[in-house]
């Protein structure tokens, strides 16, 4: 197998893994919203994660997921103020 073909196969498989990983994280967040939005020391990390995920789904034009993630992000901020 030439190097170009091997790289293309690797790249394609890697993209599938990234999509799958983001989907798994998304599903975990959606299924545990109350826990994920509770305010504690890791809220900044959670917001950064949400920002990365929102950007990921914007590029893929999956705006429904973006809206849900933005809503969760707002909930974290709201809990931080209380």
Contacts (Cβ under 8 Å, ≥6 apart) of 53: 22, 25, 26, 29, 65, 69
pLDDT digits (tens, 9 = 90+) for 27-62: 999 999 998 888 776 788 899 999 999 999 999 999
In contact, 29 and 36? CB cutoff 8 Å: yes
The structure's pTM equals 0.75
pLDDT digits (tens, 9 = 90+) for 8-27: 444 455 556 888 899 999 99
Dist. CA 60–CA 72, nearest whole Å: 19
Domain boundaries along the sequence of the chain: 3-81
Dist. CA 19–CA 54, nearest whole Å: 13
Helix (H, G, I), strand (E, B) or coil at 42: coil
């Amino acid at each position: 197998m030439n190097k170009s073909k091997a790289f293309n196969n690797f790249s394609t498989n890697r993209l599938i893994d990234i999509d799958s990983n983001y989907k798994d994280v998304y599903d975990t967040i959606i299924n545990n919203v109350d826990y994920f939005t509770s305010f504690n020391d890791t809220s900044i990390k959670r917001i950064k994660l949400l920002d990365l995920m929102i950007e990921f789904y914007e590029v893929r034009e999956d705006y429904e997921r973006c809206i849900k993630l933005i809503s969760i992000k707002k909930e974290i901020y709201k809990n931080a103020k209380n």
